Amino acid sequence: MLGQRLSNQVMNVLEILVEAAYSREKHGRLASANRQMEVVRWTMRMCKDRNLLSAAQFEHSAKSLNECGRMVGGWWKQTKPAE
């Protein structure tokens, strides 16, 4: 069940990022993607805690997710409306 939820959450992030790429209103969509990525992080931790992911799998996933988070954060900063 958690594996399916994790898979669905990752697909949601992907959909939001594709929508942001083709949208004029990128900033809000990227913020939404960032929030969804946080849910993915928590779900991954739950999977690790329940021994559904090995330590090596969790480490690889966490590193990849952090890298994606940095990229989305950089994109979000670029789209921030001028004040």
Token duo for residue 5:
């939820």
Residue 1's pLDDT is what?
A: 86
C-beta neighbour count of 11 within 10 angstroms: 10
Over residues 12-62, the pLDDT tens digits come to: 999 999 999 999 989 999 999 999 999 999 999 999 999 999 999 999 999
Q: What's the confidence (pLDDT) of residue 19?
A: 95
Q: What is the pTM of this model?
A: 0.86
pLDDT at 81: 75
- Domain ranges in the chain? 2-78
In order of 36, 39, 43, 80, the CA distances from 32 in angstroms are: 6, 11, 17, 14
Rg (the chain; Cα; Å): 14
| pLDDT given at position 2 | 85
